[in-house]
């Protein structure tokens, strides 16, 4: 499933969605404009959880406003997102357990 939440007017293109999928599949950070996604304007950080759910965070920075160490800030967001995904999975499993 692909769900895109965006701020600003940059719309991810199909090649960038594929770069996000690649980052997720490999579990590796994928910087913007680097092989295999040379045309990608986005950098992608994969998010994996203990329960097996996953997501990817993609950010397109204005070159003049790019933070000096974005991975440090994104790692904080990744941890919160992973926790939220795990809690959602736990809540759904609990609800299913009550219905049985």
Domain residue ranges of the chain, discontinuous segments joined by +? 14-99
Q: Is the pLDDT of residue 7 over 90?
A: no
Q: For residues 82 and 72, is the Cβ–Cβ distance under 8 A? A: no
Q: For residues 42 and 16, is the Cβ–Cβ distance under 8 A? A: yes
**Tokens coding 47:** 């998010």
pLDDT band at 100 (very low <50, low <70, confident <90, very high): very low
| CA 83/CA 90 separation, integer angstroms | 10
Residues 6+ apart with CB under 8 A from 17: 2
Q: What is the mean pLDDT of residues 42-67?
A: 88
Q: In residues, how long is the chain?
A: 100
Residue 55: strand, helix, or coil: strand
- Please report the pLDDT score of residue 1 as a whole number: 60
Q: For residues 49 and 41, is the Cβ–Cβ distance under 8 A? A: no
């Amino acid at each position: 499933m692909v769900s895109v939440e965006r701020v600003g007017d940059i719309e991810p293109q199909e090649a960038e969605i594929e770069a996000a999928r690649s980052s997720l599949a490999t579990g590796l950070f994928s910087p913007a404009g680097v092989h295999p996604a040379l045309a990608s304007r986005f950098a992608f950080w994969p998010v994996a959880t203990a329960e097996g759910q996953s997501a990817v965070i993609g950010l397109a920075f204005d070159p003049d406003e790019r933070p000096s160490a974005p991975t440090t800030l994104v790692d904080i967001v990744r941890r919160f997102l992973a926790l939220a995904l795990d809690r959602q999975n736990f809540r759904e499993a609990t609800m299913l357990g009550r219905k049985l």
